């Protein structure tokens, strides 16, 4: 260990890193880094590592093995975990917290096409979920939020960042605006700003939500959030809980696909909805929405523009159509001979 290093515990290092990156990356990216480094810090504390000055390549190997084998991480997830850790170690080296070059000992795994194919909310489940909300939770926060997420494919950060003024009921669209200084940034910053068209049914739900059930909450920046609780603007974490809650099959179905007793299931309380194996976070809803639009013959360029995603990323990470589906849809654009 170099004599020039200054003692630095993992938890303090994590906070210093996040504070340093706070004005460099989007809020969603910072939150992702926070989660990934939380796993690392908790591992360090369990292993009794109190000073990163002594952290070595062998420790990296032990952490990587634990996350891969014991936590059963997919290759793509492991790649993200290690990429964040590498950036974190570069920062620590810049403040004399770890040995220079420690980050170079982290080798990222190679992902394949199969790694990019992840879970999504399929159209049948989406329609059942929305039908349930339409009948039993009409024009509530949950109904309005999930209707918008499914029909527009918005990222959760973009959705919770909307204000009432960003919704045009007459022209039927949402105006997405990057407002980093007011706590609501877009993933692609100003490049993510756009107008998103809405259908009649979604506008009807939003109108009724605003006219009947909206709590008229004002946030800390004196703005009027479109999606709000009685206390504040809807947070990302609360929105995730809503997604987990209403994507559980038992909410809109009669039987549990996992053969659990729905009277005593651990995932029955709203706060524990994530424990259901079928519960989905907002991102699989976005992935399902994008795939559904593509299945309905919406051109890829239109879907990419609407969902704010590049065509290469669209094809690799979001398009879940089969090869046969793609073939059949391409045929309609071929000239008759």
pLDDT tens-place string over residues 174-226: 999 999 999 899 988 888 899 888 989 999 999 999 999 999 999 999 999 99
21 pLDDT above the threshold of 80: yes
User: pLDDT tens digit string along 104-163?
Assistant: 788 777 554 444 445 789 889 999 999 999 999 999 999 999 999 999 999 999 999 999
What pLDDT, on a 0 to 100 scale, did the predictor assign at position 303? Answer: 59
What pLDDT, on a 0 to 100 scale, did the predictor assign at position 333? Answer: 38
Residue 278: DSSP 8-state? T
pTM above 0.85, yes or no: no
Q: CA–CA separation, 276 vs 260, rounded Å?
A: 10
Between 245 and 332, residue with greater pLDDT: 245
Domain with CATH 1.10.150.130 in the chain: 10-116
Domain with CATH 1.10.443.10 in the chain: 123-284
Between 205 and 321, residue with greater pLDDT: 205
User: pLDDT tens digit string along 290-299?
Assistant: 888 776 655 6
Structure-token pair, residue 337: 């001979």
Cα–Cα–Cα angle for 180, 183, 184, nearest 5°? 70
CATH superfamily of 123-284: Intergrase catalytic core (1.10.443.10)
Fold assignment, 10-116:
DNA polymerase; domain 1 (1.10.150)
What pLDDT, on a 0 to 100 scale, did the predictor assign at position 45? Answer: 94
**Backbone region of residue 189 per phi and psi (left: phi > 0; alpha: psi in -120 to 50; beta: other values):** left
What pLDDT, on a 0 to 100 scale, did the predictor assign at position 258? Answer: 82
Q: Residue 27 — pLDDT band, cuts 50, 70, 90? A: confident
Residue 213 half-sphere exposure, CB side, CA atoms within 13 Å?
Answer: 17
């Amino acid at each position: 260990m170099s004599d020039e290093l200054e003692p630095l515990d993992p938890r303090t290092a994590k906070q210093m890193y996040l504070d340093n990156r706070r004005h460099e990356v989007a809020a969603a990216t910072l939150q992702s880094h926070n989660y990934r480094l939380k796993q690392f810090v908790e591992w360090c504390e369990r292993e009794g590592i109190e000073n990163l000055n002594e952290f070595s390549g062998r420790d990296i190997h032990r952490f990587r093995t634990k996350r891969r084998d014991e936590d059963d991480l997919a290759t793509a997830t492991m790649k993200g975990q290690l990429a964040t850790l590498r950036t974190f170690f570069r920062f620590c080296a810049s403040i004399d917290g770890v040995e220079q070059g420690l980050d170079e000992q982290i080798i990222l795994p190679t992902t394949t096409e199969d790694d990019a194919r992840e879970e999504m909310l399929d159209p049948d489940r989406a329609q059942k979920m929305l039908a349930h909300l339409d009948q039993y939770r009409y024009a509530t926060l949950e109904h309005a939020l999930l209707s918008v997420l499914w029909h527009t494919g918005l990222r959760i950060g973009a959705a919770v960042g909307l204000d009432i003024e960003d919704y045009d009921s007459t022209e039927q669209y949402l105006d997405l605006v990057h407002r980093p200084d007011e706590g609501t940034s877009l993933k692609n910053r100003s490049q993510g700003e756009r107008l998103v068209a809405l259908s009649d049914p979604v506008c009807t739900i939003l109108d009724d939500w605003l006219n009947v059930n909206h709590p008229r909450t004002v946030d800390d920046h004196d703005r009027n959030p479109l999606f709000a609780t009685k206390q504040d603007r809807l947070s990302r974490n609360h929105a995730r809980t809503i997604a987990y809650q209403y994507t559980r099959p038992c909410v809109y179905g009669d039987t549990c696909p996992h053969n659990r007793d729905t009277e005593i299931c651990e995932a029955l309380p709203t706060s524990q909805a994530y424990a259901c194996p079928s519960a989905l976070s907002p991102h699989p809803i976005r992935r399902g929405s994008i795939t559904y639009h593509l299945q309905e013959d919406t051109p890829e360029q239109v879907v990419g523009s609407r969902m704010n995603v590049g065509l290469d990323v669209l094809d690799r990470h979001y398009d879940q159509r089969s090869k046969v589906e793609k073939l059949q849809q391409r045929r309609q654009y071929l000239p008759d001979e």
